[in-house]
């Protein structure tokens, strides 16, 4: 039997971390591109912290379910960059790096709450603080998950642009020509359980350095 109350509770805890993870990730991409001379994201209205502008329904659902997902890609035109290959590497790294920074920030909130309230807190205070503690834990996991997943060298994830920028131009062109198969590969990774079996343990392993697991 489906526990509606538990689903609502999980949604309430995950909503803020998921929306923050997605929004900050995409704004970071667009802002670094803008700093490098590309106004495309700004002109498309994507340099905004309104999460609706960045949501990909399937990617957001995946984040809620398995703590791994993606957002709607920010448009980037590397032709504006003085060094397009280097520029794309920096733009692509900006999203995952931002997620890792957010994970640390959520971990700091988690530890600050324990330091401020700890075992001496009254039952009433615990009832108020506990949801925020759970939210901070979720924020660590979701942001590490989004950061790690997007570093996979599978188009259209950020890792594919990073790898393309590091490969010799000839091999990068061949690699990028296979991008049309990227989404199919992502679906296969989920359906075969490869993501859950390989990446999820890595996420929890990294999170254990920030939180008591």
Residues forming the active site: 26
Task: Give the whole-angstrom CA distance, residue 55 versus residue 66.
Answer: 17
The one-character DSSP state at 60 is H
Q: Is 174 exposed, middle or buried (0-12, 13-18, 19+ CB in 10 A)?
A: exposed
103 and 143 in contact (C-beta within 8 Å)? yes
CB 85 within 8 A of CB 108: no
Helices (H), the chain: 4-35, 40-43, 57-66, 84-116, 123-150, 158-166, 169-177, 182-191, 194, 200-207
Which tokens belong to 1? 């039997």
């Amino acid at each position: 039997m489906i526990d509606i109350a538990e689903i609502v509770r999980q949604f309430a805890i995950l909503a803020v971390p998921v929306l923050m993870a997605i929004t900050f990730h995409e704004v970071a991409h667009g802002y670094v591109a803008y700093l490098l001379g590309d106004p495309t994201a700004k002109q498309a209205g994507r340099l905004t912290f309104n999460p609706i502008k960045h949501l990909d329904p399937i990617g957001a659902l995946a984040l809620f379910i398995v703590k791994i997902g993606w957002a709607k890609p920010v448009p980037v035109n590397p032709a504006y960059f003085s060094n397009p290959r280097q520029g794309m590497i920096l733009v692509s790294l900006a999203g995952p790096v931002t997620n890792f920074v957010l994970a640390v920030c959520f971990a700091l909130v988690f530890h600050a709450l324990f330091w401020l309230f700890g075992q001496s807190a009254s039952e009433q205070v615990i009832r108020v603080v506990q949801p925020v503690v759970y939210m901070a834990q979720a924020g660590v996991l979701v942001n590490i998950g989004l950061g790690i997943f997007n570093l996979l060298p599978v188009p259209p994830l950020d890792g594919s642009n990073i790898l393309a920028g590091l490969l010799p131009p000839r091999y990068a062109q061949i690699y990028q020509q296979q991008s049309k198969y990227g989404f199919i590969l992502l679906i296969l990774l989920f359906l075969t359980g490869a993501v859950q079996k390989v990446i999820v343990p890595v996420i929890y392993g990294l999170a254990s350095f920030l939180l008591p697991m």
